[in-house]
């Protein structure tokens, strides 16, 4: 496990969640819409979007896609309990991510563009 304490744009964190949870069945038009977020209410492994305005759009498998505006925070946890991350808004579209992440979650961060490969290697070296 790696302790995470970093900044991230809202869009980057949204891409990470999509990549980690529903990339294979996420409707393509939702990928391009910065207001579409996946939510999941099963524990462990819930994903919650805290927003000023949120509307359920569609449910596929265990994921509910919501159209959310003015995001205040996001809670993301993986079903194994090895990754629990919280994104909190600092400025309009930027925030701080705090939590614990598994090496697999870090790899997903690199693939989704949230974390650079150099940043990944630095974090990975901290766990060795």
CA–CA gap between residue 108 and residue 101 (Å, rounded): 10
CA–CA gap between residue 115 and residue 65 (Å, rounded): 24
- Write down the pLDDT at residue 77: 93
* Residue 101 DSSP label: E
Instruction: Give the pLDDT mean for 71-96.
Output: 91
Better-scored residue on pLDDT, 128 or 42: 42
- 21, 38 contact by CB (below 8 A): yes
Residues in the chain: 128
Instruction: Give the pLDDT mean for 27-49.
Output: 89
On the question of pLDDT at 95 being above 60, the answer is yes
The mean pLDDT of the chain is: 87
Q: Tell me phi and psi for residue 114, to 5 degrees.
A: -75, -40
CA–CA gap between residue 115 and residue 12 (Å, rounded): 9
The whole-model pTM stands at: 0.86
CA–CA gap between residue 91 and residue 123 (Å, rounded): 25
* Three-point CA angle 39, 51, 45, nearest 5°: 25
On the question of pLDDT at 117 being above 90, the answer is no
CA–CA gap between residue 108 and residue 3 (Å, rounded): 16
Min mean pLDDT across 23-32, 99-108, 114-123 is at 114-123
């Amino acid at each position: 496990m790696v302790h995470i304490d970093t900044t991230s744009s809202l869009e980057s964190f949204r891409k990470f969640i999509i990549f980690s949870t529903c990339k294979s069945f996420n409707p393509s038009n939702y990928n391009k819409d910065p207001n579409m977020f996946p939510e999941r209410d099963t524990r462990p492994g819930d994903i919650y979007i805290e927003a000023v305005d949120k509307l359920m759009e569609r449910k596929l498998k265990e994921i509910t896609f919501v159209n959310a505006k003015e995001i205040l925070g996001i809670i993301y946890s993986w079903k194994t309990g090895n990754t629990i991350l919280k994104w909190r808004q600092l400025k309009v579209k930027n925030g701080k991510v705090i939590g614990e992440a598994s090496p697999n979650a870090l790899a997903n961060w690199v693939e989704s563009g949230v974390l650079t490969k150099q940043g990944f290697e630095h974090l990975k070296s901290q766990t060795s």
